[in-house]
Structure formats: structure tokens, C-alpha cells
Amino acid sequence: MKKLRKVSPEFVRADEGEREYNAQAWDKNLDRFLANYDDIEFYYAEPTEHTRYGQFFAIYTLRDEGLRLLNRFSTSGGISSAGFLGVNVCQVLEDDRSFDDVLELAKTDAKAAKALMDELENSEWVTINTHKFRFGDNEWGVIGTSREARKYMAERSKKYGSVFTKEPM
């Protein structure tokens, strides 16, 4: 599971780590991304003890298919030929309180639970994790990249807002 903060395209463009590395390629990749996809949401993962810079991720819709994808966003972006995983995106607060806390609080204080629910709905923080899922008669697992599989994922994206990725989190 990865905790991310929702950010604007302007925040992405201004990132010092990527600009330091190759500002022209960063701007070009961002402009191309914004021009080619719909419903784009950018997210930022803070640097860790193992990384010097933070990481960017994007959830976006492929225009021709309606398929919603999550991918790492960088100057060398691309999607591998590996199978797809389902994605769970859950809003949290910066202090890690979540909808689970709303359910627990509702048992004792409905007013406080409602206030927490409102706060969560407006939070810029999310957790993202991936999961295997069932496609047709197949066992639970990753989904392939066939035309039939992509059609299935696109239908789920359009109907339920489902998101898919090739990046295990």
C-alpha cells in the first residue's frame, strides 16, 4: 500500500527533482500526457529513506477505450507487457484516519463520525493498493492484455470507475 497526495499538473511541472534531471523532457512529457488522456489525476509520494526524490503517479482515461489506468509518471514513462492488476483508491487523512475510523466512531458519536466523513471526502490524501481479480472463468489473478481483457476492463472503468495498473503497490 502506498500513501499519496493528490496534486495539480502545475505541482508536477514545478518538481525540482525532475526539472534538475531534465527540465525539457519533463515539460514535454507532461504536455503530451495532458494532451492525450482524459480525467487525469496526479498523485505524489513523498521521498523515503530509500529515495532522494518523491514519485509521481497518474490515474487517467484512455480516450479511445475509456479504460482507467494508474501508472508511474516520469520522463521515461511506459507500460510493460505484464498483466494488469485491479486498483483500490481510498481517501485518508494525513494522520492516516480513514473510513474505517468513521465506522468505529459511528458506534459512539454519530456527530463526530459525520464530521470525520466530511473531512475525508475533502481530503487530498489517498492510499493506493493493488489486488488480483477474476476475469471470466479464470482464477483470481492478474488479467492479460488481450483485446477481450482490455474490453472487459474498459467496461468496468466506464460503469464503475474501476482503475487498473501494471505497477504492483
pTM of the predicted protein model: 0.79
161 φ/ψ sector (left φ>0, alpha ψ -120 to 50, else beta)? left
Task: Give the pLDDT of residue 164.
Answer: 87
- pLDDT digit string (tens) for 38-62? 999 999 998 888 877 788 999 999 9
- pLDDT digit string (tens) for 5-20? 999 999 999 988 777 7
Mean pLDDT, the chain, as a whole number? 84
Task: Give the pLDDT of residue 140.
Answer: 46
Total domain count, the chain: 1
Query: DSSP states of 16-69 as a string?
Result: HHHHHHHHHHHHHHHHHHHHHEEEEEEEEE---TT-SS-EEEEEEEETTT--EE
Q: Which domain holds residue 62?
A: 2-165
